[in-house]
Amino acid sequence: MTPATRTVIACQAGAFLSAASAGYSLTWHPWYALPGLVGAGFLLWGAASARAATDRQQARRARLDHAARADAALLAARSCGAPHHLYPETLCTEPADHYVRDRDSHAGPLIISGRECGGAAWDEPRSAA
């Protein structure tokens, strides 16, 4: 529950109590109800203002969540992932479908025994056929 939501609830409860006291004061004299009704009006105005702030916060959070999901989708673009023929822990980090023999090589961080040891670029081994 956000602070603005708590303010909405508190203002609505205060407006109800103020209107109830105005109703009771109305039994004595009609002018006695005026301060209670004015107070209830101000509290309802405050509740409407706080509700608008809550709606703005929720809309902003929704926009930020959408932007975060879009960024995650861009960052998680497909990569080639081809393993090195001598060091299978080393995977190609180039975009998918990038490899053309004798023109484009695979590339990625060189990983030996679980440790990154620099970078690597390699071609797929030629078959011995």
Whether 9 shows a pLDDT value over 60: the answer reads: yes
pLDDT digits (tens, 9 = 90+) for 94-125: 777 777 766 777 888 877 777 888 888 877 77
CA nearest to 110, candidates 120, 102, 121: 120
Are 39 and 25 in contact, with CB atoms under 8 Å apart? no
What is the C-alpha to C-alpha distance for residues 112 and 118, in angstroms, rounded to an integer? 10
pLDDT in tens, 60-98: 999 999 998 887 776 666 777 788 878 888 888 777 777
Tens of pLDDT along 23-67?
988 888 888 889 999 999 999 999 999 999 999 989 999 999 999
Over 40-79, what HEC string results? Answer: HHHHHHHHHHHHHHHHHHHHHHHHHHHHHHHHHHHHCCCE
Provide the residue ranges of all domains of the chain, joining segments of one domain with +.
3-75, 77-129
